Amino acid sequence: MKIRENKGLTFDDVLLIPQKSSITSRQQVDTSTRLTDKIRINIPILSANMDTVTETSMAIAMANAGGIGIIHRFMSIEHHVKQIKLVKRAQGVMVENPYCINSNELVEKAIELMRQYKVGGLVVTDDGGFVNGIITTRDVNLVPNGKLLVQDVMTKKEKLVTLQANFSVDEARRLLYENRIEKIPVLNPDGTVRGLVTAQDVLKPVRNPNAALDEKGRLRVGAAIGVSKGEIARAEALLEAGVDVLVLDIAHGHADHCVDMVRTLRANHPNAQIIAGNVASREGARDLTLAGANAIKVGIGPGSICTTRIVTGFGVPQLTAIMDSAEGIRDTGIDIPLIADGGIQKAGDLVKALAAGAESIMIGSMFAGTEEAPGSPVIRDGQKVKVVRGMASLAATMGRKMVESNNDESAEDQEDWMKVVPEGVEAVVPYRGNVGEVLHQLVGGLRSGLSYGGAENIKKLQENAEFIEITPAGIRESGSHDVRKL
Ligand code: XMP
């Protein structure tokens, strides 16, 4: 048995000492960062892979703002893949595999499909799969008879404007403008359908200039996977669907089965981007780095809904966990980034986490109250709130068991309630409106923080960082005090 001499510290225990700065405007600083050794994002923020935090709406909003959402794994592989594809279809100058209809179908079928898929047009193909037209809401809105054939009302091949796969965004924009059209099918060299470009998609990058995009111009998105053998199939399906990064979701990441999973994925998918964790020690970070991870996620028990430290007695205060783990990565000589996961309550915590060695941070509860998080708000004691639950809470654990056992409430399932040892809680958080507003505050705090740190970017913030440990009196002085808040 041993006891460490230096104390474990967390965000509230310290402040950063202001540094000489030549930054005159908050707009001058660069908030971009490494998510993994190969992927950059434009703001250093991830939404957590929790079932009350990240599904498609959150992932789309996060990537549009320049960060990334990690879609949780507590759903079937099929559903998971569908969610990734929805994010990937949400933006990108070209939609791949657009919805199609055969030219011999009835117009009413086209109307029904457009409604069902919530799209404004379908590419029309013949029996051989070759493109021979396009049908849009403009063609069908006033159609007198739904029993007409698609080929009778569509824009026919002779008049169809098309693009080849190697088109440029400027070319697409010019054709859309010159022909005053909304959609252009993209063809393969043999005349089959490759994709669809819409005016809306061409405009989106202008609307979200900071969006985190992949090399095809689509929003970036991540997905969580478990570490059991069956999860290899999930990982492969997600990679096939175009996921940018896989996040190993295991509470104690410094474990043989987690290290083995990283090794297996690395061996089978050399180019896959893998975030491994969670760890809170130098050795944990080192072992996962050596196993082939592209980034290390740090945090054992700092989360707002976590009770791991109470239930098990294990954990490391988050600031120390970040510093120790960063050293563990450095020990290997492999240059991969660190993600600080959990415990971020204020923008200042984010700045401290980055200064301590993280290159990005993951947030759960602060986002759970936003519009984009799954679930609807409810009124509790006159206040609008949303539910957040730890993924190891009793409700989340039992919810998963019910899904796994196909909702079969047998006696055995009932007994399972007694066997669960929760390491998280269920709670409510105030409703916070759109996540964009929360992100605006966080990124605003980061921009100011960089300026106080005399740093034009996150790397420089880390180089300049000097922490000072504070006392309970210092903590009290740091918040608003001796005034009555409105
Ligand atoms: P915040 O503080 O942002 O933390 O809400 C989110 C992170 O908390 C972790 N998490 C859990 N940890 N028991 C735990 O010990 C749980 O039930 C639990 N659920 C989530 C997770 O790392 C998340 O990103």
Centre of ligand 1 from the C-alpha of residue 393, in Å: 10
* Predicted local confidence at residue 245, as pLDDT: 98
Q: Is 115 among the domain residues?
A: yes
Q: Is 176 among the domain residues?
A: yes
CA dihedral of residues 218, 222, 225, 227 (deg, nearest 10): 120
* Residue 335 shares a structural domain with residue 456: yes
- Look at 159-173, 221-235, 287-301 and tell me which has the smallest mean pLDDT: 159-173
Q: Is 53 among the domain residues?
A: yes
Expressed in angstroms, the distance from the first to the final Cα of the chain is 51
* Residue 190 shares a structural domain with residue 80: no
- The protein residue with its alpha carbon nearest to ligand 1, atom 12, reads 306
Phi, psi of 295 (to 5 degrees): -165, 155
- The protein residue with its alpha carbon nearest to ligand 1, atom 7, reads 342
pLDDT value at 410 more than 50: no
Q: Is 418 among the domain residues?
A: no
* Predicted local confidence at residue 414, as pLDDT: 52
Phi, psi of 23 (to 5 degrees): -85, 125
Centre of ligand 1 from the C-alpha of residue 49, in Å: 9
Secondary structure class of 107 (helix, strand, coil) = helix
Q: Rounded to an integer, what distance in angstroms lies between the CA atom of residue 332 and that of residue 382? A: 53
* Residue that is last in its domain, among 184, 205, 226: 205
Q: Which pair of structure tokens corresponds to residue 387?
A: 């539910």
Closest CA to 303 of 318, 320, 281, 314: 318
Residue 96: pLDDT band (50, 70, 90) is confident
* Residue 170 shares a structural domain with residue 263: no
pLDDT value at 411 more than 50: no
* Predicted local confidence at residue 417, as pLDDT: 61
Average pLDDT over residues 338-353: 97
CA atoms within 13 A on the CB side of 141: 5
Q: Is 324 among the domain residues?
A: yes
Contact 144, 159 (CB under 8 A): no
pLDDT value at 460 more than 70: yes
Closest CA to 45 of 305, 332, 354, 269: 354
Centre of ligand 1 from the C-alpha of residue 245, in Å: 19
pLDDT value at 70 more than 80: yes
Closest CA to 254 of 276, 229, 231, 232: 276
- pTM, two decimal places: 0.83
Largest CA distance in the chain: 84
Token look-up 């899904």 returns: 403
CATH code, 49: 3.20.20.70
- Which residues surround ligand 1 with Cβ inside 6 Å? 48, 50, 278, 299, 301, 303-306, 308, 341-344, 362-366, 390-393, 423-424
Residue 313: pLDDT band (50, 70, 90) is very high
Closest CA to 474 of 13, 11, 10: 13
* Residue 47 shares a structural domain with residue 132: no
Average pLDDT over residues 287-304: 97
* Residue 131 shares a structural domain with residue 270: no
* Residue 348 shares a structural domain with residue 284: yes
| Type of residue numbered 80 | H
Task: Calculate the alpha carbon distances from 38 to 58, 214, 219 in Å.
Answer: 23, 11, 16
* Residue 260 shares a structural domain with residue 303: yes
How many domains does the structure of the chain reveal? 2
* Residue that is last in its domain, among 205, 221, 245: 205
Instruction: Mention every residue, 6+ apart, whose C-beta is less than 8 A from residue 466.
Output: 16, 17, 19
Q: Rounded to an integer, what distance in angstroms lies between the CA atom of residue 159 and that of residue 88? A: 30
Secondary structure class of 451 (helix, strand, coil) = helix
Phi, psi of 320 (to 5 degrees): -65, -40
* Residue 191 shares a structural domain with residue 237: no
Q: Rounded to an integer, what distance in angstroms lies between the CA atom of residue 167 and that of residue 178? A: 16
Q: How do 155-156 and 40-41 pair as beta strands?
A: unpaired
Average pLDDT over residues 300-318: 95
Catalytic residue set? 306
* Residue 463 shares a structural domain with residue 334: yes
Centre of ligand 1 from the C-alpha of residue 315, in Å: 13
Contact 386, 75 (CB under 8 A): no
Average pLDDT over residues 311-329: 97
Residue 409: pLDDT band (50, 70, 90) is very low
Q: What average pLDDT is seen over the chain?
A: 92
Average pLDDT over residues 106-120: 91
Q: Is 311 among the domain residues?
A: yes
* Residue 311 shares a structural domain with residue 371: yes
CATH code, 191: 3.10.580.10
- Quick one: the chain helix, strand, coil %, rounded to 5? 40, 20, 40
* Residue 187 shares a structural domain with residue 107: yes
Ligand 1 atom closest to the Cα of residue 342 is: 4
* Residue 113 shares a structural domain with residue 225: no
* Predicted local confidence at residue 408, as pLDDT: 47
> What is the extent of the structural domain holding 459?
11-90+210-381+433-476
Read out DSSP for 278-347?
EE-SHHHHHHHHHHT-SEEEE-SS-STTB-HHHHHS----HHHHHHHHHHHHHHHT----EEEES---SH
- Look at 46-55, 86-95, 358-367 and tell me which has the smallest mean pLDDT: 86-95
Comparing 116 with 245, which gets the higher pLDDT? 245
Q: Is 419 among the domain residues?
A: no
pLDDT value at 412 more than 60: no
Counting ligand 1 atoms within 8 A of each CB, the residue from 258, 279, 306 with the most, and so the one to mutate, is 306
Contact 253, 295 (CB under 8 A): no
Ligand 1 atom closest to the Cα of residue 48 is: 24
* Predicted local confidence at residue 403, as pLDDT: 60
Q: Is 424 among the domain residues?
A: no
* Predicted local confidence at residue 61, as pLDDT: 96
Secondary structure class of 173 (helix, strand, coil) = helix
Helix (H) or strand (E) holding 113: helix 107-117
Phi, psi of 287 (to 5 degrees): -65, -40
Centre of ligand 1 from the C-alpha of residue 279, in Å: 13
| Four-residue CA torsion sign, 406, 412, 416, 418 | positive
Report pLDDT digits (tens) over 162-212: 999 888 878 899 999 999 999 999 998 899 998 899 888 888 777 788 999
* Residue that is last in its domain, among 157, 179, 205: 205
pLDDT value at 405 more than 90: no
